[in-house]
Structure 1
């Protein structure tokens, strides 16, 4: 799964259009999820197997009831 963006320029002055999920870390104690994404110039660059030029971490947080609904048995 990928996130496609247009017109986003990173700190190096290079356009990043293709983002993919690199890692998901679910914290069941504090009910949040850290998602690490990697940015590429485009899908072709990603398909060549090159390393992402930028890596970002995003924290997703839910209220307790919603979190337990989706992430517990």
Structure 2
């Protein structure tokens, strides 16, 4: 059950991350990172790794995008 919740949180964070790739919307990553971290924490408690891995991938993508934009863009 917690794995499904972690997958849903990861999909929500991924859907929020899509517009954050557009120029001047990169600051949205500051909102997505805590959501993805919540999914990682829920994924650690679950017995399966799928949701946790999805959230870790989304988290890594958002952190890389944020660092490429200098933390703002």
Is the shorter-chain TM-score for this pair beyond 0.5, marking a shared fold?
no
TM category (shorter chain) comes to under 0.3
When you count helix as a share of all residues, which structure comes out higher?
A: 2
Greater CA radius of gyration, 1 or 2? 1
Give the TM-score normalised by the residue count of structure 1.
Answer: 0.21
When you count strand as a share of all residues, which structure comes out higher?
A: 1
Give the TM-score normalised by the residue count of structure 2.
Answer: 0.21
Query: Quick one: higher RCO (CA 8 Å, sep 6+), 1 or 2?
Result: 2
